[in-house]
Structure 1
Amino acid sequence: MAFRDGPFENLKVPLAWTAAVVAVVGMIGAGLLLLSDRTAPDGAAGYNAVRGATETVTGPVSGVLAAPVRWIGAVTDYVGGYFFAVSENRRLKAELAELQPWRDQAIALKNINGRYEAMLGLRTEPAVPMLTARAISESRGPFKNAKLIDVGGAKGVRIGNPVINEHGLVGRVTGVTGGVSRMVLLTDVASRTPVLVDRTDARALLTGDGSGNPRLEFVRGAGSVQAGDRILSSGDGGGLPRGIPIGIAAKGIDGSWRVKLFSDRGAIDYVRVLLFQDFGQLIDPNVLNAPPLAGLTTAPPPSEAQAGAIGDAAARRQAAAEAQAARARSAAAAPAPTRPTPARSAETAPQPPPQTSPEPAPAPGGVT
C-alpha cells in the first residue's frame, strides 16, 4: 500500500513549520547537553551516568548492525581471493623456484658443518697433533684404492702418518709433496696394519685385498676372534698409535676372518691426518724427572752430614797426594848419601831409585 493510500494522505504539514520544530528540538537538546557538561568536585564529568546508560543500550544494537558489515567484508575477500588465485599461485611458484637453490645449499652446508664438528671433536689419548684435510681426487681399480688430500709436507705431513675420519682409521700417507699427499686406504693390496682384538688383546695383521672388507691374518691364539669383536690398532712397530677404532670382525664367505670398516659408514671426503712420528713424541721428558720417577733417572741429593763426610775424605786424599808428590820431588833433588839410609815404609813414601856406592880410595902403603 502506497503512502498516499494511507490515513495520512490528506495530512499536509507546512515545510517551514517542520524545519522550525526540528531546529527548536535540536537547540533544546544542545542546551541540555551544555547544562549537563559540568565538572564534579572530584573532576569527573556530570553526564558520565547518561553516557554509560546510552552505551549499555546501544552496545548490543551496534554489534548486531556491524555483523552484516563484517560478513560482507569476508565475502568480498573470499571472492577477491578466488578471482586472484591464479596470479597468486604463479607468484608463489616463482618464489619457490628462487628459494630452491638456497635450500639445497643450506642443507649441504649443514651436513658439512656436522662433519667438521664431528672431526673437531676427535681426541686421542695421549694427544697427537692433527690436521684437517679434504679429499680432492681418488684412484680406484681392481687392486688400487687411494686418495689425494689437500695437505702436504708444508704443514708437517710425513710418509706413514695415519689418516682417520669421524668413524675410525681410513688409511696411511704413502706420498707427500708440498701441498698434496697421497693416502692409501685400508682396502688397498699394499696396506698392512698391525691390529688387536679388543676383547682378547690378540694380535693380528689387517691385510687389504682390494675388496671392501680387508682380511685378518696371522691371528694369535685359538678362538681369540669372534664375530662382532672390535678391532683396534695395536701400535706394534711404532707406525700407529694404539687404540684407533678400525672395524668389527666378521666371518667371510671364504671362511677367513674379515673386518667391516667403521670408515665405510660415511663418505671419505673430510679426514684428519695424525702427525704421528714415534712414541717418543707422546712422552714429555719432564714427566720422567718428576716424582716418584726422579730417583730412577737422577741420584738423590746427599744430606748435609754425608756432604761433610764426602768433603773431608776428598780433602784428606788430596793432602796425602800432595805430600807424597812433595816427598818424591825432595828425594829426587837430594845428593847421593855416603851411607845407607834407613828404608822407608812403602806405604808412606815411594822407594828412591838405587844408588851406586863409589869405589873406596886406596890406603897408604898399598893396603886395601
Structure 2
Amino acid sequence: MAFRDGPFDQLKVPLAWTAAVAVVVALIASILMILADRRIDGEGHSYGPVRAGFDAVVAPASGVLAAPVRWTGGATDYIKGYFFAVSENRRLRAQVAELEPWRDQAIALKNVNARYESLLGLRTEPPVAMATARSVSESRGPFVHARLLDAGTGKGIRIGNPVINEHGLVGRVVGVTGGVSRMLLVTDVASRIPVLVDRTDARALLTGDGSGNPRLEFVRGAGAVQAGDRVLTSGDGGGLPRGVPIGVVARGIDGSWRVKLFSDRGAIDYVRVMLFEDFGQLAEPAALDAPPLAGLSTAPAPDATQAASIRDAAARRAGATATPAPGATQ
C-alpha cells in the first residue's frame, strides 16, 4: 500500500505554519546553545545552572551517539592491523635484528663490570698491595699451563708474586718485563706450593700434574685430611702469604688426595697480582719499636763507663798475649 493510500493521504500542512514552526524551533535551539556556552553567569559563578542542566541532559545522548564512532574506529584499527600484519612483522624483525648486537654488548659489559666489582672487593689480612691485570691464554705443550698478563714491572710486579681471582689462588709470576708478565698456574707440572689444611692445620705440598685438580702430597699427620677440607696457602718459605684460599680436598679416582680449585668457579681472564715479596713488608716498623718489642729491632748503645771498661779489658788481654812466658827462647 502506497503512502497516498493511507490515513494521512488527505493531510495538508500550510506552508506558512511550517516555516513558522521551523523558525521557532531554530530560535529555541539557538537560545539553548547560547546559554549552554556561557562560562560565567551574572553572579560571577564559573559554571551556571543552565549550562549544568544542559550538560546533564546532553551527556548521555552524546555518549550514545559517540558509541558507533568508537566502534567504527576500533573495527578500522582491527582491519588495518590484520591487513598490515605482514609489514608490521617485517618492521619488528628488522628492529630486533638491529637491537641484538646492543643486547649482546650490554650483557658482556654487565659481566665485565661484575668481575671488576668482585676483584675490587678483595681484601687481605694483613693488607697487601695489588695490581689488576688481564690474562691471555698461552699454550706451549699438553702439560704446560701458563698465561700472559698485560702488566709488568711498571705496576710493581715481581717474580714470585701470587696471582688470584675473585675466588682464590690462580698461580704465581715466573717471568716479568716492563709491561708483560708470565703466570704459571697451580695446575702446571712445575708448580709446587706449600699449603695447610684449614681444619687440622696440617702441612702439605700442592703439586701440579697437568690435570685440572692438583695433587696433595707429603701430608703431615695421620688422619689430618678428609674430603671437604679447605686448603689454604701456609706461607712456609716466605714465597706466598698465609691464608690465601686454594680449594677443597677430594679423593681422586687413583686414590690420591686432590684439590678442587676455587679459581675454577669463574673465568681467569681478569686477575689481581699480589705485590708480595716477603713477610717483612707486612710488619709495621712502628709496632716493632713499641714495648715490649723495642729491644728486638735495635740494640741499645753502651754508655761511656761501659765503653771504657770494654777498652781496658781488651788492652789487658792484648798485653798478656804479647808478654813471653818465663824460660821461653827468644
Q: What's the offset of the Cα at 1:2?
A: 4.6
Q: How does 1:160-309 map to 2 (within 5 A)?
A: 160-291=160-291, 293-294=293-294
**Alpha carbons of 1:7 and 1:132: their partners in 2 closer, same or farther (altered >3 Å)?**
same
Q: What's the offset of the Cα at 1:142?
A: 2.7
Q: How does 1:140-155 map to 2 (within 5 A)?
A: 141-155=141-155
Moved more, 209-218 or 224-233: 209-218
Partner of 1:56: 56
The letter for the 2-side match of 1:139 is S
Q: Counterparts of 2:120 and 2:133 in 1: how far apart (Å)? A: 12
Moved more, 272-281 or 250-259: 250-259
Q: Counterparts of 2:35 and 2:52 in 1: how far apart (Å)? A: 18
Contact 1:135 1:270 in 2 (8 A): yes
Which fold has the larger relative contact order, with Cα–Cα distance below 8 Å and residues 6 or more apart in sequence?
A: 2
Q: What's the offset of the Cα at 1:15?
A: 4.0
Structure number with bigger Rg: 1
Q: Counterparts of 1:75 and 1:142 in 2: how far apart (Å)? A: 70
Per-residue CA distance 1:306-353 (angstroms, 9 max, x = gap): xxxx99x99xx9xxxxxxxxxxxxxxxxxxxxxxxxxxxxxxxxxxxx
Q: Counterparts of 1:91 and 1:72 in 2: how far apart (Å)? A: 27
The letter for the 2-side match of 1:44 is H
Q: What's the offset of the Cα at 1:44?
A: 3.4
- TM-score, with normalisation over the residues of structure 1? 0.74
How many aligned residue pairs are there?
303
Q: Counterparts of 1:189 and 1:87 in 2: how far apart (Å)? A: 62
Identity of aligned residues (%): 74
Q: What's the offset of the Cα at 1:4?
A: 3.5
The letter for the 2-side match of 1:128 is V
Partner of 2:95: 95
The letter for the 1-side match of 2:272 is R
Classify the secondary structure of the residue corresponding to 1:210: coil
Q: Counterparts of 1:23 and 1:118 in 2: how far apart (Å)? A: 87
**Alpha carbons of 1:223 and 1:34: their partners in 2 closer, same or farther (altered >3 Å)?**
closer
**Alpha carbons of 1:172 and 1:83: their partners in 2 closer, same or farther (altered >3 Å)?**
same
Classify the secondary structure of the residue corresponding to 1:67: helix
Give the gaps of 5 or more residues in structure 2.
309-330
Per-residue CA distance 1:156-215 (angstroms, 9 max, x = gap): 111111000011000111111111111110011110000000000010111111111111
Q: Counterparts of 1:293 and 1:6 in 2: how far apart (Å)? A: 132
Contact 1:137 1:149 in 2 (8 A): no
Give the gaps of 5 or more residues in structure 1.
301-309, 318-368
Partner of 1:43: 44
Partner of 1:8: 8
Contact 1:197 1:229 in 2 (8 A): yes
- TM-score, with normalisation over the residues of structure 2? 0.82
Q: Counterparts of 1:32 and 1:219 in 2: how far apart (Å)? A: 106
Per-residue CA distance 1:253-273 (angstroms, 9 max, x = gap): 222111111111122111111
Q: How does 1:132-147 map to 2 (within 5 A)?
A: 132-139=132-139, 141-147=141-147
Q: What's the offset of the Cα at 1:49?
A: 3.4
Q: What's the offset of the Cα at 1:155?
A: 1.7
